[in-house]
Amino acid sequence: MIPGGNNDGLMSDINVTPFVDVMLVLLIIFMVTAPMMMQGIDISLPEATSKPLISETEQLLITIDRDNQVYINDYKVALDFLQEKLSKILESRANREDYLRADKDISYGMVVHVMSEIKGAGVEKLGMVTEPIFQNKKEKKQKARS
């Protein structure tokens, strides 16, 4: 270009500043919202001295939270439709073994009612999920760190 001449030439440089601004805003949004996304269902499991079971295949997990809400894995299901939904899921599965975990503060009657719905859906084996009892607080802290 000639100094003092006509500046009608095309600019061949890409301006990345708006792109960087947008990416930084998205990064901040995701950093703020990621901790708010809840993973799983919050329940307090009863404690037991049994040894953990090791399973090679993925099992269905039916959960009853402290508000008597029933979940299949992480999906909320109305108790009236639990048997119907489980039987539909089990149609395509060869393994009819599931696990039930329930909050320790819900009534025994609710647990029995859900168990009867699960058995009515065709589940052959139903395991109960519990929290292991630790001998002392030091062992519990070590388990939480690992």
Domain with 64, as residue range(s), is 47-132
- Residue 67 in domain: yes
Confidence band of 141 (pLDDT split at 50, 70, 90): low
What pLDDT digit, counting tens, does each position of 64-111 carry? Answer: 988 889 998 888 989 888 888 888 888 877 777 788 888 888 888 888
- Mean pLDDT (whole number) for 13-41: 83
For 12-138, list the strands marked E by DSSP: 47-48, 60-64, 70-72, 75-77, 97-102, 125-128, 131-132
**Per-residue confidence band for 47, with pLDDT thresholds at 50, 70 and 90:** low
Residue 28's pLDDT is 92
In a domain, 58, yes or no: yes
Q: Is residue 141 part of a domain?
A: no
Residue 142 maps to a domain: no
Does residue 121 lie in a domain region? yes
> How does pLDDT run across 2-13, given as a tens digit for each residue?
555 566 667 777
CATH code, domain carrying 69:
3.30.420.270
- Degrees (nearest 5) of the Cα angle 9, 13, 19? 135
124 close to 96: Cβ distance less than 8 angstroms: yes
Domain count, the chain: 1
Asked whether residue 2 is assigned to any structural domain, the reply reads: no
What mean pLDDT, rounded, does the chain reach? 77
Question: Is 25 inside a domain boundary?
Answer: no
Whether 56 is in a domain gets the answer yes
